[in-house]
């Protein structure tokens, strides 16, 4: 067991603080924001994630409902469901839980959600505004990384942030958000040569690949801030992309579990409030 030199960046503490803030703000609204989850089938991970978000919604005073469509639903029915939610004036936010079953095409589904209700921030218009500086809804996991840093008073201005992983949900939008905070940003990935030397340049390291223990102590600059987003099931444990020995090198680090995932959930509700306030003026 490596000595825990690094300070723990608790996701729970951040999620609790966000919950308190949202509860207070939502309590002052003249309406109750409404969030609808669309879940297709009974994939256990999807059931778990939607339930976590629904529980957090309840906690902060958002009216949340989960629509469950059968595993074999066809694309047209799913698209019609989204069109109805877009048209429903009472609904502020729509989140289609991914991944969808293999016979469904996620691209048109994500493009069908009204960008103003798209609290996952995956609609191309929101992606485009995120990169162009418009009023985007930004993806929740990267938003959560900023919330963790802000909560702990850690500033990335002028620092070098190395993001490992280039997914649409985490790596790429995280790059946009860290650039907007004036960090120097590197995006590394599976094709990167000499990943160790690239990651060692990072004052901040975001690990978002989904390969258990990919980032080890030899790859991390002493004192760096390490944010672990990866999640891999190993036996009956969920482990991150960051190996345990990094606790002995990093300056600050998120635990797994109890780290970035909790804050992602909180950001879904923060985006719901943002969407509701913008939509209802």
Q: Which residues are catalytic?
A: 53, 97, 120
Binding map of a copy of itself across residues 198-237, x = CB under 8 A, - = no contact:
x--x------------------------------------
> What is the x/- site pattern for a copy of itself, positions 109-148, by CB under 8 A?
-------------xxxxxxxx-xxxx--------------
**Residue closer to a copy of itself, measured from CB, 269 or 275:** 275
In eight-state DSSP terms, residue 226 is E
- Applying CB under 8 A, which of residues 179, 232, 248, 277 lies at the interface with a copy of itself? 179
Q: How far apart are CA 202 and CA 204, in angstroms?
A: 5
Minimum CB–partner distance for residue 188 and a copy of itself (Å): 5
Helix, strand and coil percent figures for the chain, each rounded to 5: 45, 15, 40
Residue located via tokens 């969407």: 275
Q: Is 79 in the site for a copy of itself (CB under 8 A)?
A: no
Site string for a copy of itself, 21-60 (x = CB under 8 A): ----------------------------------------
Stretch binding a copy of itself (CB under 8 A), from 69-77, 92-100, 190-198, 218-226: 190-198
Separation between Cα atoms, residue 99 and residue 81, nearest integer Å: 17
| Under 8 Å between Cβ of 258 and 52 | no
Rounded Cα distance between 143 and 122, Å, is 13
Cβ-in-10-Å burial (0-12, 13-18, 19+) of 140 comes to: buried
Is residue 174 within 8 Å of residue 163, measured between CB atoms?
Answer: yes
Report in angstroms how near the CB of residue 13 gets to a copy of itself at its nearest.
29
Angstrom CA distances, 175 to 9, 107, 110, stand at: 20, 21, 21
Determine which residue in the list 19, 78, 85, 188 makes contact with a copy of itself, applying CB under 8 A: 188
Beta bridge partners of 63: 34
Rounded to the nearest whole angstrom, what is the least distance from the CB of residue 237 to a copy of itself in the complex? 30
Give the interface with a copy of itself as residue ranges (CB under 8 A). Answer: 107, 122-129, 131-134, 157-160, 166, 168, 172, 175-176, 179, 182-189, 191-193, 198, 201
């Amino acid at each position: 067991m490596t000595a825990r030199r690094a300070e723990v960046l608790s996701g729970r503490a951040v999620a609790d603080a966000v919950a308190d803030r949202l509860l207070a703000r939502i309590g002052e609204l003249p309406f109750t924001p409404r969030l609808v989850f669309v879940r297709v089938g009974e994939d256990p991970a999807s059931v778990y994630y939607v339930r976590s978000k629904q529980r957090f919604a309840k906690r902060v005073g958002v009216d949340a409902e989960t629509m469950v469509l059968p595993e074999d639903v066809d694309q047209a029915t799913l698209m019609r469901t989204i069109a109805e939610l877009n048209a429903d004036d009472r609904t502020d936010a729509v989140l289609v839980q991914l991944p969808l079953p293999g016979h469904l095409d996620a691209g048109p589904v994500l493009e069908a959600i009204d960008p103003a209700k798209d609290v996952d921030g995956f609609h191309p218009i929101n992606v485009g505004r995120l990169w162009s500086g418009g009023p985007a809804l930004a993806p929740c996991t990267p938003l959560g990384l900023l919330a963790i840093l802000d909560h702990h008073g850690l500033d990335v201005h002028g620092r070098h942030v190395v993001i490992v992983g280039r997914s649409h949900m985490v790596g790429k939008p995280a790059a946009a958000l860290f650039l907007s905070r004036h960090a120097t940003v590197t995006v590394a990935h599976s094709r990167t040569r000499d990943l160790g030397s690239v990651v060692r340049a990072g004052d901040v390291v975001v690990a978002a690949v989904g390969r258990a223990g990919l980032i080890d102590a030899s790859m991390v600059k002493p004192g760096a801030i390490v944010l672990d987003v990866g999640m891999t099931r190993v036996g009956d444990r969920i482990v991150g992309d960051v190996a345990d020995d990094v606790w002995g090198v990093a300056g600050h680090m998120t635990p797994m579990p109890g780290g970035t995932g909790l804050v992602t959930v909180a950001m879904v509700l923060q985006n719901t409030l943002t969407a509701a306030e913008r939509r209802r003026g």
